[in-house]
Amino acid sequence: MIYTVTLNPSIDYVMEVANYQSGMTNRAGKAIAYPGGKGINVIRILMANGIEATALGFLGGYTGEFISRTLDGLGLKTKFTPIADTTRINVKLKGQSETEINAPGPVVTMAEWEGFKQVFHQLTPADIVIFSGSAPSSLPVGAYDELIALVLEKQARFVIDTTGDDLQRALPAKPILVKPNRDEVQALFNLADTSMPSLQAAGRQLIDAGAQNAIISLGGDGALLFTAEHTYFARPIVGQVKNSVGAGDSMIGGFVASWATSADVVAAFSLGVASATATTFSDDIATPAKIKEIQNNVEVVEI
Ligand SMILES: Nc1ncnc2c1ncn2[C@@H]1O[C@H](COP(=O)(O)OP(=O)(O)O)[C@@H](O)[C@H]1O
Ligand SMILES: O=P(O)(O)OC[C@H]1O[C@](O)(COP(=O)(O)O)[C@@H](O)[C@@H]1O
């Protein structure tokens, strides 16, 4: 079984404000609430690629109910741990450019945290756990380390998409995949610039530190994949960009959907790129039809 873990889910409240002006009263042309949080986007893409998974994490309050109801409606399997506090709302402003304001997240009590960890005792060596996104600040520092230790104890495998110290500390535990974007990898390694040679050196550092595979995603400039022996580049795909929220999550979902059924890492990277691009060219997370349409345009070259 594949599990997605979203410690800090969100309602993504997307407001389209054509001429957004800071410090003024703005009126949105359109406002839509989506179930969000990185692992929730990942499981939606796994499903779009025909792979069954179970969504784990914390949900609470009226926002948690909205997410739970929406995911049920989409036919997704979920096993969220209920919390007394209220799941966050993240605001995404779409004007000339996209502005994101992500909230810190709810209080998770120690009893709720202990309850959540119980689920990990049921893991088997066949399982893959995908950890995605930030942890609410009320969780202990090192919450991800504790969860990774539980995964390893059961000889299961994991993917992690987070930033900073949490990402750095996860590397020696040999994640199947990590996927920082350009800004995240620059911050992680204190890179002076994000030229190709700097990014290639950073990708190698991720592998040397323990990652089995590492993607550095470059937004509209494509993506790099690093394996133990090879480096690949996915050329950018040109199209009408509608939404970049969830692009990175879609890349993880596409990669794992393919990798879970075949060991061909380039095929997995290609499905990751197709899924990410398909989401970027859609209003919401990509549909199976959109992913199929984009798949023909993916070009991966070894560099
Ligand atoms: N403007 C764009 N045009 C085409 N593809 C895009 C665009 N933005 C993102 N993508 C696709 O989505 C992937 C992930 O996007 P990126 O912005 O790097 O990740 P994140 O959402 O994690 O910040 C990119 O590597 C690319 O394949
Ligand atoms: O957990 P974080 O880092 O605050 O990120 C949460 C946000 O990330 C998203 O999952 C989008 O992530 P990506 O654009 O990086 O794929 C949103 O749905 C959510 O609002």
Q: Report the chain's C-alpha Rg in angstroms.
A: 18
Helices and strands (H and E) in the chain: how many: 10, 14
- How far apart CA 254 and CA 94 sit, in angstroms, is 25
Tell me, rounded to whole angstroms, the distance of Cα 7 from its chain centroid: 12
pLDDT of residue 263: 86
Among this protein's residues, is 249 annotated catalytic? yes
What is the DSSP code (8-state) at residue 150? H
pLDDT of residue 97: 87
Catalytic annotation, pick one of 12, 249, 283, 284: 249
Span from the CA of 249 to the centroid of ligand 2 (angstroms): 8
pLDDT of residue 32: 95
Tokens 């399997």 label which residue? 77
- Which regions of the chain are under pLDDT 50? none
pLDDT of residue 42: 98
Closest atom of ligand 1 to 234 CA is 27
pLDDT of residue 231: 98
Going from N- to C-terminal start, the domains of the chain cover: 2-302
Q: Which helix (H) or strand (E) holds 2?
A: strand 2-6
What is the DSSP code (8-state) at residue 77? E
41 lines ligand 2 (CB under 6 A): yes
The ipTM estimated for the assembled molecules is: 0.97
Q: At a CB cut-off of 8 Å and minimum separation 6, what does 263 contact? A: none
Residue with the smallest CA separation from ligand 1 atom 20 is 248
Tell me, rounded to whole angstroms, the distance of Cα 220 from its chain centroid: 17
Span from the CA of 237 to the centroid of ligand 1 (angstroms): 10
Q: Which helix (H) or strand (E) holds 273?
A: helix 265-280
Question: Quick one: which of 83, 154, 167 has its CA closest to 123?
Answer: 154
pLDDT of residue 243: 87
Q: What residue ranges in 135-282 does DSSP mark as E strands?
A: 157-161, 214-217, 223-226, 231-234
Question: Please, what sign has the CA dihedral across residues 203, 282, 254, 78?
Answer: positive
Span from the CA of 253 to the centroid of ligand 1 (angstroms): 13
Span from the CA of 229 to the centroid of ligand 2 (angstroms): 31
Number of the ligand closest to the Cα of 245: 2
Closest atom of ligand 2 to 38 CA is 10
End-to-end CA distance of the chain: 34
Closest atom of ligand 1 to 181 CA is 18
Tell me, rounded to whole angstroms, the distance of Cα 274 from its chain centroid: 15
Q: What residue ranges in 191-236 does DSSP mark as E strands?
A: 214-217, 223-226, 231-234
Residue with the smallest CA separation from ligand 1 atom 4 is 220
Domain made up of 2-302: CATH architecture: 3-Layer(aba) Sandwich (3.40)
Question: Please, what sign has the CA dihedral across residues 274, 298, 224, 197?
Answer: negative
Q: Measure the CA dihedral 228/259/59/28, to 10°.
A: 90
- How far apart CA 188 and CA 161 sit, in angstroms, is 13
pLDDT of residue 152: 98
Question: pLDDT digits over 17-46, tens only?
Answer: 998 998 999 999 999 999 999 999 999 999
| Residue 122: HSE in the Cβ half-sphere, 13 Å Cα cutoff | 11
What is the DSSP code (8-state) at residue 285? S
Looking only at the bridges linking them, the beta strands covering 10-16 and 223-226 are unpaired
